[in-house]
Amino acid sequence: MNDKKTIFSGIQPTGCITLGNYLGALKNWVNLQNDYNCIFSVVDLHSITVRQDSAQLRKRCMDFLTQYLACGIDGEENIVFFQSHVPAHSELAWVLNCFTYMGELSRMTQFKDKSSKHADNINAGLFTYPVLMAADILLYQTDLVPVGIDQKQHLELARDIAIRFNGVFGDVFKVPEGYIPKEAARIMSLQDPTSKMSKSDPNVNGFISILDDPDTIRRKFKRAVTDSEGEIAFREGKHGVNNLLNIYSAVTNQSVEKSVNEFSGLGYGELKERVAQAVIEELRPMQERYADLCKNKDYINKLYTEGAQRAAYLASKTLRKVHRKLGYVDR
């Protein structure tokens, strides 16, 4: 590693990568990769808190990693790997479990939310999920974590755990900071624009997959929820229209104000059509790269294998330090 700061981030391989994931995370990862030491993981260990079909999970993991690369992540300059290929994540998670309090975990809003959605499978992994996330981050002495509003609570817990461990054993973990890019877009559901676009949304019309074909994208935008006012403006209460303007602004790299002016005097039908076309053009080169990468499995395998080796090397340095502080016998 050089003297650049380190960034760690990952996406859970459930559902599909959406336009929201792309504009809110992946597009920013691409912009960050030249200025930071970037470690990007498909966090498959996290996914099994909900029951998965093993064949589908394996395929999704490969699809997600390939889409990372198709979106512009350089898998040779950065570390790209599957979380489950580096056992240190699970090993450090156990240690950190012993430095995390039940009360802290019970206050996690995502645990409450997921427990209500999966009442028949409220497992211990779901409860301790944030500890594994802390291990993901702290293993690599991460400086910055790109984080959305829904993950800020988990990052705060990771910071608290690091500070608590350091308080007992000295300077072991770097205490990470959240990184929220100014240009990060918060993309909402097309069917419920008061909720974030989700890759696990049971309503397929609520999200755009970055692999959706042009006809599907147009159809989903045509069905997007707006309002009865008929005026294209960006203001409080116009959730659906605001969301469409945010999407258009993000993919055209212009301000919302400029977008509003561009659509002045036009109707919602024209707005939806123009936003759909802009999204189609934004995703087209990524989809073409994805198709090419899918033909080169050996290259993909080489990247994630070498990525896991590089990640394991960095993780082992932190884990050795942790083991010495705890008093484990040297291996």
The residues assigned a catalytic role are 114, 196, 199
Contact call for residues 308 and 85 (beta carbons, < 8 A):
yes
Distance CA 113, CA 16 (A): 20
Burial 206-234 (b: 16+ CB within 10 A, else e): bbbbbbbeeebbbebbeebbbeeeeebee
Q: Which candidate, 220, 142, 198, 260, places its Cα nearest to that of 21?
A: 198
Distance CA 39, CA 46 (A): 17
Beta bridge pairs of residue 209: 18
Dump the DSSP string for 244-261. Answer: HHHHHHHHHT--HHHHHH
Q: What single DSSP character describes residue 183?
A: T
Residue 325 vs residues 3, 103, 156, 322: alpha-carbon distances, Å: 26, 26, 23, 5
Place of tokens 């959730």: 239
Number of Cβ within a 10 Å radius of residue 316: 15
